[in-house]
Every structure is written in C-alpha cells, then in structure tokens.
Amino acid sequence: MENSKLTEAMLYRKAKKQAKAIRSFYINLSCYCIVIPVLIYINLTFSPEYYWFVFSALGWGTGLAFHGMAAFNYSPFLGSDWEERKINEILEKEKSKSNQLNNQ
C-alpha cells in the first residue's frame, strides 16, 4: 500500500512537471507569434533593403522547436522511453551499491 502511494505521488509530480513545461512552451510560442510580426514590421518599415528579421525568426524558431520537443517528450534521437529506461538503470545501480554496503 505504501509503495503504491509513493508511485502515485511520483507520477503526480512527473505529470505536474510536464504540464508546467507545456504551459511554458505555449507562453514562449505566444510571445514568438507576437514579437516576430512586430520585428518584421519594423524591419520592412525602416530598413526594407535588408531582411534582418529572418535571423531572429530562425534563431528563436529553432529554440522554440527544441522547447516544444522537450515539453511534449518528443525525442527522435533517443526514443520516447529512453529517459525512463535510464532512470531505472541508475536506480538499479544505486540499489545494488546500497545492498553491497549493507552486506559488508
């Protein structure tokens, strides 16, 4: 019974952390959708001969894409369950070390 409460609390904390990350992503996306058009307007109004807004849009857009991938747990490089497997691997190593110290 105690273990299930612990697991439920851990799952709740994990879900809360992910919800916070998704909210943060949406705030970032909203700011992007407001600021970039303003920069485009400023650029085209005051210096239309050089499109410098592209650097801001691409730079921030790249960061935004990575932010979204992190918020929604999308990882094309390591797989969707890589983090969970790694956590379990680390926990198993720590348990093994703890058991070895207790047996001595």
Separation of alpha carbons 61 and 69, rounded Å: 12
Which region, left, alpha or beta, applies to residue 79 given φ > 0 means left and ψ of -120 to 50 means alpha?
left
In-domain check, residue 87: no
Q: Does this model's pTM top 0.85?
A: no
Q: How many domains does the chain have?
A: 1
In-domain check, residue 88: no
Domain coverage including residue 48? 2-73
What's the pLDDT at 40? 97
In-domain check, residue 25: yes
Closest CA to 39 of 30, 49, 52: 52
Task: Please write the tens of the pLDDT for every residue from 29-72.
Answer: 999 999 999 999 999 999 999 999 999 999 999 999 999 998 99
In-domain check, residue 51: yes
Task: Please write the tens of the pLDDT for every residue from 70-99.
Answer: 899 887 777 667 777 888 888 888 888 777
